[in-house]
Amino acid sequence: METKVQRSKTLVEEICAIPGGEGILDCIQCGTCSASCPNASRMDHTPRMLIAMARAGMREEVLSSNAMWFCASCYLCTVRCPRDIKPTELMHALECLAVRQSLSNERTRTPIMYRSFSDFVYSIGSVPEVGFMTWFYLLSNPLRALKMAPLALSLLKHGRMSIKARRLKPEAERQLRAILDKAEVLGGMS
Ligand code: SF4
Ligand code: SF4
C-alpha cells in the first residue's frame, strides 16, 4: 500500500501560491529592483535581499521584515526588472503571508491601516474618512487620535472631510461582495 508523506510547504512554495509571488523563482539577483527603489534606504532588507533570504528559507527574518510594508507600490522595480518578475506584487504577497502567519513587523502600522480599511469595505462597502481614521487610531494608538482631533475638526469645518458614510446601492454591494469573496479565495488578508 502506498503511503503519502505529508510535508509542510517551504516558504518559496507558499510565496509562489499567492498570485504575484510566482516570479521569485526567476530572480537572477541583479539588484536592479533595489537600485530603483525610492524606499530601499528605509527597509531593513532591500527587495533583492528579501528575495534571496526567502529562497534560502529564512521565514521569520523575511516575514518580520519592514521592507514590504515600506513598499510604496511605485512599480519602478517592476518596469525595470529584466526578468519580468514584478517585485511589487512579490512585496504584496509577502505582506499577505506575514499577516496570515502573525509575523508582521511591529515597527510599522501599515498592517493595521490595511485592517481598518478592509473592515470598513467588508462591513459597509465604502471607507468614510472620519470612521476609518478613528478606527485606525483606536486599533493602533488611541492617544494619537486625541492629538489628531484638532486637525480633524479643522478639516470638517472647512468641508475637506465628510462625517457621512456613503452607502452602496444593493446591486453594487452584491457585486463588491462577490469581488471580495473571490479575492479572499485567491489569497486575501481576511
Ligand atoms: S530586478 Fe528582478 S531579477 Fe533583478 S534582483 Fe530584482 S527581482 Fe531579481
Ligand atoms: S514598488 Fe515598492 S519595492 Fe518596487 S521600487 Fe517601488 S517602493 Fe520599491
Distance 158 CA to ligand 2 centre (A): 35
What contacts 117, CB < 8 A, 6 or more positions away? 127, 132
Angle between helices 110-124 and 129-140 (to 10 degrees): 130
Write down the pLDDT at residue 62. Answer: 96
33 touches ligand 1 (CB under 6 Å): yes
Distance 88 CA to ligand 2 centre (A): 6
Digit-coded pLDDT (tens) for 74-132? 999 999 999 999 999 999 999 989 988 888 777 788 888 888 888 888 888 888 888 88
48 touches ligand 1 (CB under 6 Å): yes
Q: Which amino acid is at 23?
A: G
Cell 510547504 sits on residue? 9
Write down the pLDDT at residue 175. Answer: 92
Write down the pLDDT at residue 149. Answer: 86
Q: Which ligand is nearest to the CA of 82?
A: 1
Could you give the CA distance from residue 124 to residue 167 in angstroms, rounded to a whole number?
Answer: 7
Write down the pLDDT at residue 94. Answer: 94
Q: Which atom of ligand 2 is nearest to the CA of 76?
A: 5
71 touches ligand 2 (CB under 6 Å): yes
37 touches ligand 1 (CB under 6 Å): no
**Domain extent listing, the chain:** 11-100, 110-179
User: Residues 109-132, buried b or exposed e (16+ Cβ, 10 A)?
Assistant: bbbbbbbbebbbbeeebbbbbebb
Distance 140 CA to ligand 1 centre (A): 34
Digit-coded pLDDT (tens) for 154-167? 988 898 887 777 78
Could you give the CA distance from residue 110 to residue 42 in angstroms, rounded to a whole number?
Answer: 14
Distance 85 CA to ligand 2 centre (A): 13
28 touches ligand 2 (CB under 6 Å): no
Q: Which amino acid is at 53?
A: M
Write down the pLDDT at residue 93. Answer: 93
118 touches ligand 2 (CB under 6 Å): no
User: What pTM does this model have?
Assistant: 0.79
Q: What is the CATH superfamily name and number for domain 11-100?
A: Alpha-helical ferredoxin (1.10.1060.10)
Neighbours of 134 (CB within 10 A): 17
Confidence of residue 44 (pLDDT cuts 50, 70, 90): very high
Neighbours of 2 (CB within 10 A): 3
Rounded to 5°, the CA angle 94-95-98 comes to: 85
Confidence of residue 187 (pLDDT cuts 50, 70, 90): low
Answer whether residue 190 shows pLDDT above 50.
no
The share of the chain scoring above pLDDT 90, in percent, equals: 46
What mean pLDDT comes out for the span 21-30? 94
Q: Which atom of ligand 1 is nearest to the CA of 77?
A: 1
Answer whether residue 4 shows pLDDT above 70.
no
**pLDDT, mean over the chain:** 88
